[in-house]
Amino acid sequence: MIVIGGGLAGLAAGVALADSGWRVRLFEQRPFLGGRATSYVLPDGEHVDNCQHVTFGCCTNLEDFYRRVGCADKIKFFDRLLLLDPQGRIGQFQAGFLPAPFHILGSFASFSPLSLWDKLSIGRAMLDILRYQGKPPDVQEVAGISMLEWLRRRGQTQGAINRFWRVVLVSALSEELERIDARYGVDVFWKTVLSNRTGYRMGVPSIPLAELYDGCKTEIERRGGEVLLRSSVRGLKMENGQLAGVRFDEAREESADAYIFALPHTALAELLPESVKQSDPGLANLDKIKVSPITGVHFWFDRTVMDEPFLTLLDTTTQWIFNKTLLYEEPSSDLDPVAAGLPRRPLSTSSPAPSNAPPQPVGAHQYLQLVISASYDLLQKSRQEIIDLCLAEVRQALPKARQAELLKATVIKEAAATFSPEPGVDRWRPKQETSIPGLFLAGDWTQTGWPATMEGAVRSGYLAAEALLRAHGTPRTFLQLDLAPDGFIQMWLGKQGSEGTR
C-alpha cells in the first residue's frame, strides 16, 4: 500500500499498517519527515523547530504513537503552567491535592492577573461545562456558534475573556474567539482541566522535532516497506473511475492495492481531478476549510535571560516563551521540580541585574523560542518589525534580557499552520473512507472530532488505517481511549453508567 505525506497523519497510518503486516511505501515531498511538526537546519547550522510544539496529558493517541516509534521518553511533562502580565503579576495553574474537577481550584483562586469578578464569571461558565459533561446543548448545533458568543451568553467579564479564555484558547486552537466553534472551545476545558487531574499536563519535546520520527522509518522498513523522501506526487491516475496509481515527475508511476492521502487539505484539493471531487461529497468542499497562521520567533542571547522552562505572557503579542536551551538539556531536577518534589525557584521580575552582577560563564548563550498563534496581524509585517516588537516584549517580561545582547534572530511565519476551527467547520471535514475504492484520507483536517493538533493528525492516521483494514476484511483498532475521568467526575459519571470514549 502507498501513503502519500510524511507528516504525523501519514506516519501514524504507515506505522499502524506496517504493524498489521502491510508493506508500506511512504512518499514525502520534502527531504525530512514531520510535515508541519518538524525541524530543520538553518544555513548557519542552527537546528530549529519550524515552531515549538507542545502536547497535553489528554492527547492519548499521540502518546501511543510516540511509544510505538520509541520516542515517548523524549517528551518532558510539566505540571505547572506559569503566566505573567505586563505589571509583573504572576499566575499559575497547577493541580493541588483535591480530586478533579477541584484540583486546579487552589491555583485559580490565587491567580492574581484576574479580579474576583472575572473568577466568579469563569466559575459559572465552568459549572455549565461540567453540568453537561463538556457538551452544553447550545454547542451541538451543526452550523455552530462562536466561542465568543458562547461566553457572552454566560455573561463573562472582559477581563475573563481577555486574560483567561482568549489566552488558553487562541494558543490551543490557533484562532480568535470569534472564529472558534464553541464546541471545540468547550471541549478543550472539559478534556484538559475538568474531567481529570492530568489532562492539562504539558509535554514538550526535549530534542528537535524531526528527530522524534527516526523510529517511523525503522518500523516501516522492518516490515519490508520503505520511506521515500524528495518524492512529490504530481497527480492521480484514474481508470474507469478507479484509482489506478499515482504520478511523480519524469513520467514515473507507482501503484498499490490501497492509497492513503495524508496531505494538507489545500494540497489534496489541487491534486484531485475535478471528476473525483464531484464523485464524493466529502471531497467537494475542501476549499471551504479555511486556514489560520502561527508565527515562531527564535532569539539567541549572549547570556542566560530566563530560568523557567516556559512562560505565557498576558496582554502582549508574544503568547509563549520557551527556554529551548533548558528544554534540550539532559533531564535534571531543575526541569520538573514538582516531579522532583523540590521547592520552585521564584521567577525574577525585579529590576535588571546591576552592572556589577557576576559575569556569565563563557558560552552560556540562551536560545528562546516565542510563539504567536492566530498571528494574522504579523503576516504583513517585516521580519525586522516582528523581531523589534517581540524583543521589546521579552525585555519587558524578563529583566535579565534588558542588558543581554541579541546575537541573532529568526522569524518563521506559517501562513497555513492549522485549519481554522470556525463555527460549523465539521460540515466540511471528510471521513477517512471515501467512495472511491482503495482511496483513504488522513490529515488533521479530516473528521477526528479534534482540532488541528498533533493528536488530531495521529487520530486521523489511525482512523485511516482502521478504515483500510475494515475494507480488506481484517479489522483492527488503533484508536486509543480518551483519558479516563477521575476524582468526583468519575464517581458522578460512574453513577450515570458512562464508559470510556474514543
Ligand X SMILES: Cc1cc2nc3c(=O)[nH]c(=O)nc-3n(C[C@H](O)[C@H](O)[C@H](O)COP(=O)(O)OP(=O)(O)OC[C@H]3O[C@@H](n4cnc5c(N)ncnc54)[C@H](O)[C@@H]3O)c2cc1C
Q: Which of 417, 436, 464, 467 binds ligand X (CB under 6 A)?
A: 417
Residues of this chain, 310-369, that bind ligand X according to CB under 6 A: none
Name the pairing type of β-strands 291-301 and 366-373.
antiparallel
7 contacts ligand X (rule: CB under 6 A): yes
309 contacts ligand X (rule: CB under 6 A): no
8 contacts ligand X (rule: CB under 6 A): yes
Q: Which residue is listed with cell 500500500?
A: 1
For residue 66, the minimal CB distance to ligand X (Å) is: 12
Query: Which class for 474: exposed (0-12), middle (13-18), buried (19 or more C-beta within 10 A)?
Result: exposed
Nearest to 5 by CA among 210, 259, 307, 190: 259
397 contacts ligand X (rule: CB under 6 A): no
Which lies closer to ligand X via its Cβ, residue 9 or residue 394?
9
Choose the stretch contacting ligand X; rule: CB under 6 A; options: 22-30, 179-187, 196-204, 306-314: 22-30
For residue 413, the minimal CB distance to ligand X (Å) is: 9
Name the pairing type of β-strands 259-261 and 439-441.
parallel
Q: Where are the alpha helices (DSSP H) in 132-213?
A: 147-153, 158-160, 166-173, 182-189
Three-class HEC string of 261-313: ECCCHHHHHHHCCHHHHHHCHHHHCHHHCCEEEEEEEEEEECCCCCCCCEEEE
Is the peptide bond prior to 101 cis by the omega test (within 30 degrees of 0)?
Answer: yes
Task: Tell me how crowded residue 309 is: count the other CB atoms within 10 A of its CB.
Answer: 22
175 contacts ligand X (rule: CB under 6 A): no
Q: Identify whether the C-beta of residue 498 lies closer than 8 Å to the C-beta of residue 489.
A: no
Q: Which residue is listed with cell 484540583?
A: 103
Q: Tell me how many residues contact ligand X (CB under 6 A).
A: 38
Q: What are phi and psi of 453, to 5 degrees?
A: -145, 170
Buried-exposed string 364-393: b where 16+ CB fall within 10 A, e elsewhere: ebbbbbbbbbbbeebeebeeeebbebbbeb
Q: Identify whether the C-beta of residue 54 lies closer than 8 Å to the C-beta of residue 168.
A: no
30 contacts ligand X (rule: CB under 6 A): yes
453 contacts ligand X (rule: CB under 6 A): yes
220 contacts ligand X (rule: CB under 6 A): no
9 contacts ligand X (rule: CB under 6 A): yes
2 contacts ligand X (rule: CB under 6 A): no
Q: Which of 1, 3, 10, 393 binds ligand X (CB under 6 A)?
A: 10
48 contacts ligand X (rule: CB under 6 A): no
- Give the sheet arrangement for strand 226-228, strand by strand: 226-228, 25-27, 2-4, 259-261, 439-441
465 contacts ligand X (rule: CB under 6 A): no
108 contacts ligand X (rule: CB under 6 A): no
Q: Measure the CA–CA gap between 422 and 86, rounded to whole angstroms.
A: 30
- Cα→Cα distances 320→6, 218, 399, 400, 427, Å: 27, 34, 16, 17, 32
Which lies closer to ligand X via its Cβ, residue 233 or residue 305?
233
For residue 362, the minimal CB distance to ligand X (Å) is: 33
Residues of this chain, 251-290, that bind ligand X according to CB under 6 A: 262-264, 267
For residue 370, the minimal CB distance to ligand X (Å) is: 12
Q: Which of 3, 16, 24, 54 binds ligand X (CB under 6 A)?
A: 54
Q: Identify whether the C-beta of residue 464 lies closer than 8 Å to the C-beta of residue 9.
A: yes
Q: Which of 4, 16, 243, 286 binds ligand X (CB under 6 A)?
A: 4
For residue 403, the minimal CB distance to ligand X (Å) is: 30
Which lies closer to ligand X via its Cβ, residue 308 or residue 444?
444
418 contacts ligand X (rule: CB under 6 A): yes
216 contacts ligand X (rule: CB under 6 A): no
Which lies closer to ligand X via its Cβ, residue 161 or residue 372?
372
Which lies closer to ligand X via its Cβ, residue 6 or residue 423?
6
Q: Which of 2, 26, 37, 100 binds ligand X (CB under 6 A)?
A: 37
What letter represents residue 469's amino acid? L
Which lies closer to ligand X via its Cβ, residue 31 or residue 137?
31
Site of interaction with ligand X (CB under 6 A): 4-10, 27-30, 35-37, 50-51, 53-55, 232-233, 262-264, 267, 294, 296, 414, 417-418, 443-444, 452-457
